[in-house]
């Protein structure tokens, strides 16, 4: 079921702190304080590694890949869980794809692919797409993402998050709005949780959380985080496959 308060907060980072550690030295969130339209928001980014390791990717992308969100005014914006709203999906959002683009060659009376068979290994390929560039058709192999994610404990993840936050003050925080007060949580992947694992009721596509920072050059860098138990492949309901 989609998160009912999913969206993005655009604003200015004014403070950052980690949760206070517990008796075992563990902490579970990096907290970003954001101001937008004179309202203070707290954004709690979950890196809890008590029961399972956390995984993350840091991705740099161009301004043109983020136009839909970047032109929004400061403040909180509800986003529908679909491809055209500006929502993020770790599996389906193109800036997160790692791809091979292979031109389709004309052979005899029909178009055929001359692609090495190993590219079709189910361990390598996430799915396929296609596009036309300069009148040349291309087959796009979207590679399986699992090998591009790093994994570690809360300390490892929080240090990487902080390296992203240090690159700018204009931030875009994707997640679910607090039930009470001003803030954002569920700032992590929100699909692929094991069925009957305690969180599968929140599984859905196009509703993943993220922390994205605008850099001084106008481009962007994002911190994307998930839990090791969450699948890299999901069906159209967000359930693991």
Mean pLDDT of 194-215: 94
Mean pLDDT of 204-221: 97
Under the banding of pLDDT at 50, 70 and 90, the label for residue 106 is: very low
> Does residue 15 sit in the same domain as residue 119?
no
> Does residue 160 sit in the same domain as residue 188?
yes
Q: Which residues of 69-78 are buried (b: 16+ CB within 10 A; e: fewer)?
A: bbeeebebee
Domains in the chain: how many in total? Answer: 2
> Does residue 214 sit in the same domain as residue 126?
no
> Does residue 127 sit in the same domain as residue 209?
no
Q: Which of 45-59, 70-84, 165-179 has the lowest average pLDDT? A: 45-59
Percent of all residues in the chain with a pLDDT value above 90, rounded to a whole number: 64
Last residue of a domain, one of 124, 143, 162: 143
Classify residue 239: in a domain, yes or no. no
> Does residue 72 sit in the same domain as residue 124?
no
- Given a cut of 60, is residue 111 above it in pLDDT? no
> Does residue 75 sit in the same domain as residue 27?
yes
pLDDT at 24: 47
- Given a cut of 90, is residue 26 above it in pLDDT? no
Residue 39: domain span: 6-90+149-227
> Does residue 124 sit in the same domain as residue 64?
no
Classify residue 53: in a domain, yes or no. yes
Classify residue 36: in a domain, yes or no. yes
């Amino acid at each position: 079921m989609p998160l009912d308060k999913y969206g993005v907060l655009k604003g200015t980072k004014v403070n950052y702190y980690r949760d206070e550690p517990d008796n075992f030295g563990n902490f579970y969130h990096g907290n970003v304080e954001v101001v937008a339209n004179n309202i203070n928001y707290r954004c709690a980014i979950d890196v809890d590694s008590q029961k399972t390791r956390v995984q993350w990717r840091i991705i740099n992308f161009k301004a043109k890949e983020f136009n839909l969100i970047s032109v929004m005014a400061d403040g909180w914006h509800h986003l529908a869980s679909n491809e055209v709203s500006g929502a993020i999906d770790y599996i389906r959002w193109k800036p997160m794809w790692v791809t091979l683009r292979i031109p389709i060659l004309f052979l005899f009376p029909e178009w055929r692919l001359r692609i090495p068979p190993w590219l079709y290994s189910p361990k390598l390929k996430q799915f396929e797409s296609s596009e036309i560039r300069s009148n040349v058709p291309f087959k796009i192999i979207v590679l399986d993402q699992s090998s591009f994610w790093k994994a570690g404990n809360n300390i490892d993840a929080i240090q990487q998050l902080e390296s992203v936050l240090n690159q700018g003050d204009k931030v875009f925080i994707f997640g679910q709005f607090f039930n009470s007060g001003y803030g954002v949580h569920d700032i992590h992947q929100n699909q692929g949780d094991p069925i009957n694992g305690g969180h599968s009721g929140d599984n859905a596509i196009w509703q993943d959380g993220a922390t994205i920072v605008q850099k001084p050059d106008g481009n962007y860098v994002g911190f994307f985080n998930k839990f090791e138990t969450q699948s890299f492949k999901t069906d159209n309901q967000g359930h693991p496959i």
